[in-house]
A and B are shown apart, each in its own frame.
Chain A
């Protein structure tokens, strides 16, 4: 009798759980969060996914100064004898001591691909979503523009890089990718940018200001052509930007004023917001201000800066007499609250009043119209020499700065003048390293940077407090024009090939 009873219960069990609800019973998803499998479906979700990518560009841009200004002859550091904790990560970049284990190079590489996965995932889900065609088109344009921008950064920093344009579905799949030649990376960039130029609107309604536009895509495309030395294509592309309604602001200071965001000169700004605790703020001045400024630079009691990205003696000396940009871009020192002058320079472009400590309101200019004009002048000079048009663009920039026009130079001299003008006009806006790599040969740069290094060693911008330089500090070798592929990536994937020299 007992046996029959057991069989009955077993059968009920199989009926209850064993058949229909078998798989259902074992499917559990976290009810407290959104699950990605069910996301990217509605139009709202698509837009949120695109916004999420922009959201990642926000923290990403907080550290880009390290790889483009700090590493160059524009800035150095406010030496800190008491804490060399950032030595391996940051000093290594400043002194060209980086290697495959340098954590901040790993951070650059990892965070860039960390944005890429969201670009690629959203792009792959876009066609099946039920967003309107207009939103799909715009979103695809935005995502591919950002992807092009990221690959352009990667290819300039690392040379050959892995191109990934789709999400991987298993860890094993990620091991199958290898680095593509620089040419192929640029093909990918051009394909994305050409699409974006066609897909993006020239402007947005007030709710969407801050998204990338056709003008941003054209400007970036022009920069890519310029970098590839395809000067005629650069001219043709950048000329289109000049008819989109952008203009230089009259006052250089207004360009960076957070009270005046997304103005006529802005082509693409990374958007930050301060004066609230939503965590979408910038904090550049907190990184850039002198270390022991104790409230004298940042107006909060006792507030010090990080002492990073300190303008070098050289760039300070480069400003011409009467250049109105100097006071906006940097300060050569500050007066302490005790009334003493302290001669530690700092970047002032992103230093504006704000109400909450650590939470600033400054946007980051990625591309602005002055950059476009200078790029146009550069491309024209390479094709036709310094024509009247080329001088016109250069002198438009100089005129705003309160400087006399320049005329009557040869092609090579004009190129040098332009490079210097870019150095001053776009100072500390993360252009210098790429400008040098674009306009100089490797051997020219080795000579130039080592000479700069010797001068910094002999007469450092900030005091070393008696601590000597290491032998290899400020010694630049040609292979260091490309960053190493991070050691972690090399180690787990033996098929990856490291850049020469590392």
Chain B
């Protein structure tokens, strides 16, 4: 039995000073503000195991009892100002500034400054624009803004003491050691984003095109990065690097009517390109993951978190083949043949011959919705898709391991068995500790997919005196997945941050069928 009392106290104080004035075609408004917020979370939890009877259901009756309590808190403080100006609803300007402090950052860097500007031009309001069905409304907009991120844990900049006991005089002697690295300089991650967009409505809003170009530069990213271990620790949360995400978002919304059939359709396309511009120094790299999973490497000039590993070029069938290949010590027939990337004649058992073997970022992401109704019937379809990207199927390190200690994938029957019976190019890991489980391209799969996420069919029952509003519907979630990816979920982002696209075989996406009715009286 588990019982808990949690208490969250969130106190916020906001003061606003606003001003607004309309002078003919000019409209001005402004705002000054101050905000302070503090949250305190306290908990008290008790666990009881082994109750002598079912009648007394309180922790005090349990034979084994444990309890714990704790507290966590954070605070924020901000000063801000904003001014808007518009002329004739045709030219729109806005400027704002926010200075914000967070308790989560180091003593030296608690405060960040976040300015933003935007301008809009409603072209369709201009007198020189012709009155045409092609232009119902057209607006060009541009903005620049800086935003901050403090989504790290509370107290992340501080170092705490941890227990490291010893034995002195044959008795336990309490000992205390540092449990993490204190970084008094830890501060805001800041993103500078520039947007240029066009909103264009045509044919009385029946066709709406939205196009937006964005360029986001993220500076001082909050990452847990490696540091020289002479500091006592191998990792610390720090502000490092600069990453650019730029891309295009296009959306087309179309509605029409054929006789009694209403059709609504929306397609949106996102093309994002991601590039690391800077880490600590020019040649610096961030390596996440490991030798026996995959390395996610962030290098200047490349996208974040590219998969690195050996390039698997085949399976050794015979000893003669091993002899003929660059020295891959310990290889036996049935182990993977790796590419000698640095050309030194030796595949060394470390990172020297590892190269980029995959890219976890899709070239483009697509969403499509189609809906409609006819008389009392309605339907809706929703597709999502992501194209040309890789997933590292980490799980196969164990589900293709033939040592007899794991459950094996069914496809394991097609494994390599001998030169005469080579199977489908997957090795069986047995009796050698090398050249099978290392990060290598064999585990990289293209995860391009289109997913029919939802189908809904509905029927609205005609108005009647008993139930004025009634609808019955059938809906299916995730009914169809079109992909060559062998895992259950090509969209599984089972790890975050700078270690993305690694499939540890999360739970498959459930396919849900619902038959429902909604009645309103």
Which residues of B151-191 have CB atoms within 8 Å of chain A's CB atoms? Answer: 154-155, 158-178, 181-185
**With a CB–CB cut-off of 8 A, which chain A residues contact B73?**
28, 31
What chain A residues lie within 8 Å of B171 (beta carbons)? Answer: 207
Residue contact B225 to A171, C-beta cutoff 8 Å: yes
Interfacial residues, chain B to chain A (CB-CB below 8 A): 13, 15-19, 32-34, 36, 38, 70-75, 77, 79, 101-104, 107, 110, 154-155, 158-178, 181-185, 225-234, 236, 238, 280-281, 283-285, 287, 291, 329-330, 348-351, 403-405, 431-434
CA distance A28 to B110 in the complex (A): 11
Of listed A31, A48, A81, A280, residue having the most chain B CB within 10 A: A48
Is residue A1 contacting chain B, with contact meaning CB distance below 8 A? Answer: no
Q: Mark A1-45, 1 if CB is under 8 A from B, else 0.
A: 001001101101110111000110111111111111101000001
Residues of A near B432 (CB, < 8 A) are 84
Q: Once the chains are docked, how many angstroms separate the CA of A28 from the CA of B72?
A: 9
Query: Shortest distance in angstroms between B234's beta carbon and chain A's nearest beta carbon?
Result: 6
When the two chains form their complex, are residues B158 and A35 in contact, meaning their CB atoms are under 8 A apart? yes
Contacts of B166 in A (CB 8 A): 51-52, 54-55, 58, 210, 271, 280
A201 part of interface (Cβ distance < 8 Å): no
Are A10 and B177 in contact, with the CB atoms below 8 A?
A: no
Any B CB within 8 A of the CB of A83: yes
Counting CB contacts under 8 A, is A116 at the interface?
Answer: yes
Q: Which residues of A are at the interface with B, using a C-beta cutoff of 8 A? A: 3, 6-7, 9-10, 12-14, 16-18, 22-23, 25-37, 39, 45, 48-56, 58, 81-88, 91, 97, 99-101, 103, 109-110, 113-114, 116-118, 121, 162, 164, 167-175, 177, 204-211, 261, 271-273, 278-280, 467, 470-472, 487-489, 491-494
Residues of B near A34 (CB, < 8 A) are: 160-161, 176
- Determine which of A26, A97, A207 lies in contact with B349 in the assembled complex, contact meaning CB atoms within 8 Å: A97
Contact call B330/A472, Cβ cutoff below 8 A:
yes
Q: Is the CB of A36 within 8 A of B169?
A: no
Q: Are B228 and A492 in contact (CB under 8 A)?
A: yes
Closest-CB distance, B152 to chain A (whole angstroms): 13
The answer on a CB contact under 8 Å between B229 and A113 is yes
Looking across the interface, which residue of chain A has its beta carbon closest to that of B329? A472
- A25-B38, A84-B432, A472-B330 as given contacts; A167 in contact with B232, CB under 8 Å: yes
Given the interface pairs A10-B15, A109-B229, A488-B234, the reply to whether A101 lies near B291 with Cβ below 8 Å is: yes
Whether the pair B161, A35 counts as a contact (CB closer than 8 A) is yes
Once A3-B19, A13-B34, A492-B284 are accepted as A-B contacts, the answer to whether A55 and B170 lie under 8 Å apart by CB is no
> Closest chain B residue to A99 by CB distance?
B350
**Nearest CB in chain B to that of A50: its residue:** B175
Point out the residues of chain B lying under 8 angstroms from A58, CB to CB. Answer: 166
Q: Which residue of A lies closest to B36 (CB)?
A: A17
Residues from chain B with a CB closer than 8 A to the CB of A14 are 15, 34
Contact B174 A28 (CB under 8 A): no
| B178 and chain A: residue at smallest CB distance | A36
Write out the residue numbers on chain A whose beta carbons fall within 8 Å of the beta carbon of B164: 51-53, 55-56, 118
Q: Which residues of A contact B183 (CB under 8 A)?
A: 170-171
Q: What 5 A-B pairs are tightest by C-beta distance, nearest first?
A: A117-B232, A87-B433, A55-B164, A51-B175, A52-B175
- Which chain B residue has the least Cβ–Cβ distance from A33? B160
Are A36's CB and B230's CB within 8 A?
Answer: no
- Interface centre among B15, B171, B291, B348, by most chain A C-beta atoms within 10 angstroms, is B15
